[in-house]
Chains A and B, each alone.
Chain A
Amino acid sequence: MTERIKSLLERTFEKEQKKFRRDVDWRPLLERFVADGIGDEARARIGLEEMLKAETPAFMEGERLAFLRTVREIPELHSEEEMDARRAQGVAFGEKGVVFNLTADFGPTVRDGLDARLAEMESRLAKCRAEDDAEGMEFIENAILSVRAVLDLVERYRLAAEEKGLSEIAATLAQVPRKGARTFHEALQSLRILHCAMWCEGEYHCGLGRIDQYLYPYYEGDVKAGRLTDETALEELEEFFIACNRDSDLYIGVQQGDNGQSVMLGGVTRDGKPAFNALSRLCLKACGELKLVDPKINLRVDKTTPLEVYELGTELTAKGLGFPQYANDDVVIPALQRWGYELEDARDYSVAACWEFLVPGCGMDINNIDAVSFVGALDAALRNLTRGRGDAETISYEDVEAEFLAEIQRRADALVVKYGHVEILPGPFVSVMSAGCIENARDICKGAKYNNFGIHGTGIAVAVDSLASVRELVFEKKLVSLSELVKLLDTDFAGRPDVLAAAKAAPKMGNADPRADETAKRVIDFWGHAFDGRRNDRGGVFRPGTGSAMYYIWHARDVPASADGRLKGEPLSANWAPALDVPVKGPVSVVRSFTEPDLGLVCNGGPLTIEMHDSAFLMPDGVEKVAQLVKFFIGRGGHQMQINTINRETLLDAQKHPERHRHLIVRVWGWSGYFIELDKPFQDQIIKRVEL
């Protein structure tokens, strides 16, 4: 790492950038919007214009890539009353209602420049006028003004740079993002601004996508021309990655660090050729040197991927970064095709903020619109079965499983109704960077090529373990009746320590025990088909997944104890992972259990999440062994995997002495964050995960 980068890294970590920030009171703007009844598209455009006008060009000493946020808050464009009124009329929104959790198609605009988009829009506007397409005109006019607002700020940055004698930055900004990037440096500068502008428009969880693909031509061109070496390219990338950590505390998320700056490396090209390249390598190397939480690295692999690539990834795992998260092309691409994605698009997949698979630039998927609580469904099923039935003893285990699956189906059906009519608030600027929006003269919020909704499945392992426990305790050992067991769940097994002990000792997922794993297979088969034939009114499908997002904390609050021996208040495991604190034989058995089901059915995403004790990497071949484990997971048809490298003692110490562990990174649910910045329930849940 060069001295310049080291200095930028330290100062960014110490948040020197905060000194440039100020607050802006956006309330008058919102009041004006409400009073004047301004339309959604105009609000989005005016919001961006006002936000960017309020920005002051600022530079950190030593940087070559410009742009940092100086205004803390983004304008609210709609009042709560307005949103509630729309909801009352039967409109559903995903989270805040705006475009979010999406990766724009940065490549073409980095390549062509915003002037090219303006020219396209001018000619499209003429066509709209000719066709008397008012909706199209409104979109194009707002989009043009949005692009101009971005270019105005860039021009102010250029002048400020010139004034400060930062001639290199000034020269770069004279080219990009107005015109197409000619060099790797210009491409990174262009990307930095385009990405930041999305956040300023109000989008959040803005992914970066396949940077090793769309930036590769600049890297290759520069190297061939002798302008760039791997060392200088590494420095450029490191500066860009540091910049991703500069404004991230201003980004919206449930927890600090949950900001969706995902990068996807490797995989295959749109025409199916291996895509892992020299730039992919440099990206991994840069992350390994910087040891920051952003960007969040994902790595696409398949059964032909050489061990060496897994080892490069595992080097980051060994450093405790919590990434890369691996995705399996052999499983994900066919799964996306099954949901209607064209082969070329499916091959181009990346992930949203966490693990939800998406295709950058051509999707308006809301891939985390809601979740089904599997533990909640089982609890409801047990109560349905036993309520008011004196003859509960005639119930068989098969009845229990059938009622559980029926409850899952009822909950899935309810979500289909709940999200029957979803509206998304417009984003004219992001639309400019999304395929087809200019051509169709419609904002991306009106729909893109893909308009699917993703549904998480929370606590699957806890539900499966609970089923295994019900079978063993009630139907095989006959330790308790089903009705008695349900009562015990309400009292945390009060007075029956024997039942609690038996519940904890019952078969668990993670031990390659067919008594649990066969049940998991049936549950995943069912869940994978729960939305078959259902469509939302945007024409999209519902994609079930194995992710939990933050619901592993939230859903746990809604249920009493569960039959696997989990007591009330104890959280669920995150994503697709063994229940907390269960004894497992080891990581190989965990991988075996969690790859038994057909994971291609549940490819909304949701990784096998395992925690490796940090001592695994004390031996020099620890990296190779863990890499072999990931390769094994992929070979067995796993869809997605992430590995935390932790040490429970360190985490406990970090709770006591946070100041000593400021750099301690953990994988939370689908992203890496600083442990000490997490709320305590999220910290505690990680401490209770099974250490392997």
Chain B
Amino acid sequence: MKGRIFEIREFTLHDGPGVRTTVFFKGCNLRCAWCHNPEGQSFEAETMTRANGEKIVCGEDWTADALADELLRNADIMAQSGGGVTFSGGEPLAQAEFLMELIPRLKRMGVHLAIETSGYASSQAYRSVVTQVDFVYQDVKLLDSDAFRRWTGGELDVVLANVAWLRGNGVPFAFRVPCIPGVNDSAADREAFVDFADGAKVEFLAYNKAAGAKYPMLGRTYPCPPMSS
């Protein structure tokens, strides 16, 4: 089988220890209003057009062997620095089967693996992948079901069930909260997230001011009203 990837970025600095490459999986089952990688949402290949007319194809299909080879080109510096590969997206767990083919090919070379996930996945997909990686960046966006549904289009319970399992599973993890002005960035929100983490590490990510930048390139409009002004 093949995986659909929209970007392979070298030397990413925010995705785990050491020198890393981050693989962005195409397609996500959530539609977060503030999403700054809109080209990662659809599972279909798309073309982005820059202001200067330049076209960028988003979504390339890779076999696990080919993708592992590509990533392992940097295995030397990953080994030297204790770095590795981070799976991001989109939602990597939406392509869990492909991930399960890819991961052993990378682990064989001893590279550190991390995943950045919304946790919006079946418990089977979640557990099978998470037990295979060295670190999990678990997104927490909102703690209220209605708000979660309104802002992301998803069901919070699915995430909470996976998080509950994550807490007891032994894989090192940290929570990541994208701070969205007017949505989840009040002092009370922050306190609630810290309570929710229950002693686990929480990283609050500042709102990406350029979050809307890629929408026009896809012929779309940034759907996050509080920020659109």
Contacts and interface: CB of A to CB of B under 8 A. Distances in A.
A5 interface: no
Interface in B17-35: 17-19
B10 A587 contact: yes
6 pairs of A and B residues whose beta carbons are closest in the complex: A586-B10, A628-B81, A586-B11, A632-B77, A587-B11, A585-B10
Contacts of B8: 585
B13 A588 contact: no
Interface residues of B, number: 16
A625 B10 contact: no
Nearest to A619: B13
A25 B11 CA distance: 57
A589 B10 CA distance: 8
Interface of A: 512, 585-589, 592, 615-616, 618-619, 621-622, 624-625, 628-629, 631-632, 635, 692
6 contacts: A586-B10, A587-B11, A588-B10, A588-B74, A621-B13, A624-B81
A193 B14 CA distance: 48
Contact of A619 (B14, B19, B77, B81): B14
Contacts of A625: 11, 13, 18-19, 81, 83
Contacts of B76: 632
Given A586-B9, A592-B73, A628-B83, 18 more contacts: A512-B73, A585-B8, A585-B10, A586-B11, A588-B10, A588-B11, A588-B19, A615-B13, A616-B13, A619-B13, A619-B14, A625-B18, A628-B18, A629-B11, A629-B19, A632-B81, A635-B80, A692-B11
Nearest to A632: B77
B175 to A, nearest CB: 17
A621 B11 contact: no
Contacts of A618: 13
B80 A631 contact: yes
A631 B81 CA distance: 9
A592 B83 CA distance: 17
A635 B81 CA distance: 12
Given A586-B10, A588-B11, A629 B17 contact: no
Contacts of A632: 19, 76-77, 80-81
Contacts of A622: 13
A586 B19 CA distance: 11
A588 B83 CA distance: 12
A93 B224 CA distance: 67
Interface of B: 8-11, 13-14, 17-19, 73-74, 76-77, 80-81, 83
Contacts of B13: 615-616, 618-619, 621-622, 625
A615 B206 CA distance: 13
Contacts of A587: 10-11
A692 B14 CA distance: 14
Contacts of B14: 619
Nearest to A633: B77
Nearest to A631: B80
* Most chain B CB neighbours (cut-off 10 Å) among A625, A629, A631: A625
Nearest to B74: A588
A632 B77 CA distance: 6
A628 B80 contact: yes
Nearest to A589: B10
Contacts of A588: 10-11, 19, 74, 77
Contacts of B17: 621
A618 B14 CA distance: 9
A578 B13 CA distance: 22
A616 B9 CA distance: 14
A635 B79 CA distance: 13
A148 B83 CA distance: 61
Contacts of A629: 11, 19, 77
B50 to A, nearest CB: 12
B10 A628 contact: no
Contacts of A692: 11
Given A585-B10, A619-B13, A628 B73 contact: no
A147 to B, nearest CB: 52
Contacts of B18: 625, 628
* Most chain A CB neighbours (cut-off 10 Å) among B10, B11, B76, B81: B11
A589 to B, nearest CB: 6
